[in-house]
């Protein structure tokens, strides 16, 4: 029997792994579950991803790249006439308003690096990428890194507690911290 040409299968498996994380968390990711989600034979997952960690690396890599592209678009669109703290507050509110599924997936995969050393370089790329983007609008590297840590901590707290995002509260946290260059 001839093999069916399916150049998109690897990508479908990555997308399926992300959906599995959304529904079942990192612990729910398995070759079998991802294959079922992608509607492909189990052997396809092991052909494209030798291990579960390989699946996690691919999923986190995609999520990370998409998130960093969104951060870059946000920084590119920051109005220089508006205080940067207001723009950051807008970013947080927009990121966590409505359905938080995507943000939860992003942080779940990001935090997977705590237990999966193979994904640590991608998580580090996220941290460094966010810092680099913030550096474009802050006075120095230390300030950008501290602001990235504040944003990560704030977003994670809001996701963990399911609290509503209140723009004025976010803005108050940033007062004096996100001063312009």
pLDDT in tens, 125-181: 999 999 999 999 988 999 999 999 999 999 999 999 999 999 999 999 888 565 554
Domain count for the chain:
1
21 lies in a domain?
no
Over residues 20-41, the pLDDT tens digits come to: 999 999 999 999 999 999 999 9
Residue 128 lies in a domain: yes
Residue 77 located in a structural domain: yes
Q: Does position 3 have pLDDT exceeding 60, yes or no?
A: no
The answer to the question of residue 105 being in a domain is yes
Residue 81: pLDDT band (50, 70, 90) is: very high
Model confidence over 105-130: pLDDT tens digits? 989 888 888 998 998 999 999 999 99
pLDDT of the residue at 6: 79
Asked if the structure places residue 41 within a domain, the reply is no
Look at residue 158 and tell me if it is in a domain.
yes
- Residue 61 inside a domain? The answer is yes
> What is the full DSSP assignment across the chain?
-PPPP-TTHHHHHHHHHHHHHHHH-GGG--HHHHHHHHTS-HHHHHHH-SSHHHHHHHHHHHHHHHHHHHHHHHHHH--TTS-HHHHHHHHHHHHHSS--HHHHHHHHHHHGGGT-GGGHHHHHHHHHHHHHHHHTTSSSHHHHHHHHHHHHHHHHHHHHHTPPP-HHHHHHHHTTTS---
Mean pLDDT of 4-16: 89
Its pTM stands at 0.85
Q: What CATH number does residue 78 fall under? A: 1.10.357.10
Instruction: Name the residue range of residue 81's domain.
Output: 52-174
Determine, yes or no, domain membership for 7.
Answer: no
- pLDDT at residue 178, as a whole number: 52
Output the pLDDT for position 69: 96
């Amino acid at each position: 029997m001839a093999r069916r040409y399916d150049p998109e299968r690897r990508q479908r498996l990555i997308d399926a792994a992300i959906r599995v994380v959304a529904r079942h968390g990192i612990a729910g990711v398995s070759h079998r579950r991802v294959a079922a989600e992608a509607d492909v034979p189990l052997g396809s997952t092991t052909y494209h991803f030798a291990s579960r960690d390989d699946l996690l690396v691919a999923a986190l890599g995609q999520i990370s790249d998409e998130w960093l592209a969104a951060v870059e678009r946000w920084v590119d669109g920051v109005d220089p006439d508006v205080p940067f703290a207001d723009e950051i507050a807008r970013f947080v509110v927009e990121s966590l308003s409505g359905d938080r599924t995507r943000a939860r997936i992003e942080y779940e995969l990001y935090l997977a690096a705590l237990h999966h050393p193979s994904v640590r370089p991608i998580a580090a790329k996220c941290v460094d990428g966010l810092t680099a983007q913030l550096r474009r609008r802050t006075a120095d590297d230390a300030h950008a890194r501290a602001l990235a840590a504040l944003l990560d901590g704030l977003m994670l707290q809001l996701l963990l507690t399911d609290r509503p995002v209140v723009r004025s509260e976010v803005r108050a946290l940033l007062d004096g911290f996100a001063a312009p260059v």
